[in-house]
Amino acid sequence: MAGRYQELGVASDYSPNWGLRQDEYITELRGTRGIKRLREMRDNDPIIGAILASMDLMIRATKWRVEGPDDESNAFLNDCLHNMQDRTFEEFIADALSFLPYGFSLFEIVYKKRQDGKIGIGKLAPRAQWTIDRFDVTDTGEIKGVYQSAAQKSAYIPFTIYNGVAKMLHFRAVSINNEPSGRSILRNAYTSWYAANEIKRIEAIAIERELNGLPIVTVPSEYLSPDATESQKAFINQIKKIARDVKRNEQGYIVLPSDLYADDDGKLTTKAMVDFRLIASQGTRDIDTGKTILRLQQDMARSAMADFIMLGANDRGSFALSQSKSQLFLRALEGYADVISGTMNRVLIPSLWKINGFDPAKMPKLARGRVAPVDLEELGNFIQRATMAGAELFPDTVLEDHVRDVAGLPPKAQADA
């Protein structure tokens, strides 16, 4: 039957070959412009910074281990991961987590010849998201490579080299329709972040004006007429600059001409031709911008399932609520950690085994430790209830080692030594 073994359709009507996220509804988030806007959110906003820092530190603190059926293979992979050039494995994990704010992260795999004659990992070199112009993708959505522009030069980096050996590691926070650039965890926070920034800007202007007063300058009407001379126009421009930049500080001053108006008889009056004064606010603002900004910040935190960070910012919230929210956040972090281990096990490790001609049956895997801590009281109560119900839990070496690990205790063999 025609089409049984062929892919006939396409993922969407947008091709990643056109550029990064060209189908994004918000134009400011398209292409490298969008990457730079996400970078601004990451670097400049205190709430987003706190969320990303907590994610980064929690996952970086996770213990990563190599698991496999062969001790020699396990030792080889462990040595490859922890003896790379110029960076530690923990630093690689930190760089890989940049897929959280940007949606994706890329690393060029640089292999090296080891002293034992085997091929290992020279480095996993990060490729900054704002240097990526576009992905090279087939009609069926298979990623062939990326086009990069940085340091006044361009480069094409393929995803695979000879015999299907990987040349790139590609991590994505969320994959929608196999979009190579993924989806940033900050995407749903953007509108709230933008609104909060605008309110902060307007609030700062309002505070400055309320403290300094609103500048009012009066000048002769002929200076404002269309027939004003060039010198009169220049004088008005200078007055406008003074009114715009006036501030009450140690460098603040205003110099004005002392010319006075004359009456009908030509006698000078006491009314100056150019006058300057400040009008102070006569009332209070009806809009509490602080509450509005706080609400928008809560929306930003909620979009990343980290709204527990905002508990205590108002008079609502409970310990039980914070515990349940933080547990949900930690579970999400375990999912993001699985993105890293899954990509390593699917791409990097098989490529190492293929390029060395190792036995696939002895290929190990990279496994993460726990991100979410275990409640020892709940675990203890469960073991006690299970034992009282007749379950024979001990002696069990595997179970005992697990309980010791959860409690932060050394393994039994080490404890007995």
| 14-64 pLDDT tens trace | 676 777 888 888 989 988 899 999 999 999 999 999 999 989 988 988 889
User: Tens digit of pLDDT for each residue in 52-104?
Assistant: 998 998 898 888 989 988 999 999 999 999 999 888 899 999 999 999 999 99
pLDDT at 44: 93
Q: Which tokens go with 151? A: 């340091």
pLDDT at 132: 92
pLDDT at 417: 47
Calculate Rg over the CA atoms of the chain.
32
Of 171, 123, 181, 175, which Cα lies nearest the Cα of 340? Answer: 171
Query: Is pLDDT of 284 > 60?
Result: no
pLDDT at 282: 59
Q: Which tokens go with 194? A: 């933008």
pLDDT at 246: 72
pLDDT at 105: 96
Query: Is pLDDT of 134 > 70?
Result: yes
Residue 207 vs residue 184, higher pLDDT: 184
pLDDT at 322: 61
Angle of helix 289-303 relative to helix 190-212, nearest 10 degrees, comes to 160
Any idea which residue has 């509108």 for tokens? 191
pLDDT at 270: 81
User: Tens digit of pLDDT for each residue in 212-224?
Assistant: 667 788 888 888 8
Query: Is pLDDT of 415 > 50?
Result: no
pLDDT at 345: 95
Share of the chain above pLDDT 70, in %: 84
Residue 206 vs residue 415, higher pLDDT: 206
Query: Is pLDDT of 317 > 60?
Result: no
User: Tens digit of pLDDT for each residue in 146-173?
Assistant: 999 987 889 999 999 888 899 999 999 8
- Average the pLDDT over 293-318 and give the result: 77
User: Tens digit of pLDDT for each residue in 322-378?
Assistant: 666 777 888 889 899 999 999 999 999 999 999 999 999 999 999 988 877 666 677
- Average the pLDDT over 239-247 and give the result: 78
Any idea which residue has 């292409």 for tokens? 31
pLDDT at 366: 94
Query: Is pLDDT of 316 > 60?
Result: no
Q: Which tokens go with 384? A: 């006690």
pLDDT at 179: 84
Any idea which residue has 């999400």 for tokens? 332
- Average the pLDDT over 192-219 and give the result: 82
Query: Is pLDDT of 126 > 80?
Result: yes
Residue 2 vs residue 93, higher pLDDT: 93
User: Tens digit of pLDDT for each residue in 263-283?
Assistant: 777 788 888 888 877 776 655
Residue 77 vs residue 5, higher pLDDT: 77
Those residues whose C-beta lies under 8 Å from the C-beta of residue 387, and which sit 6 or more positions away, are 393
Which span out of 87-101, 238-252, 397-411 was modeled with the highest average pLDDT? 87-101
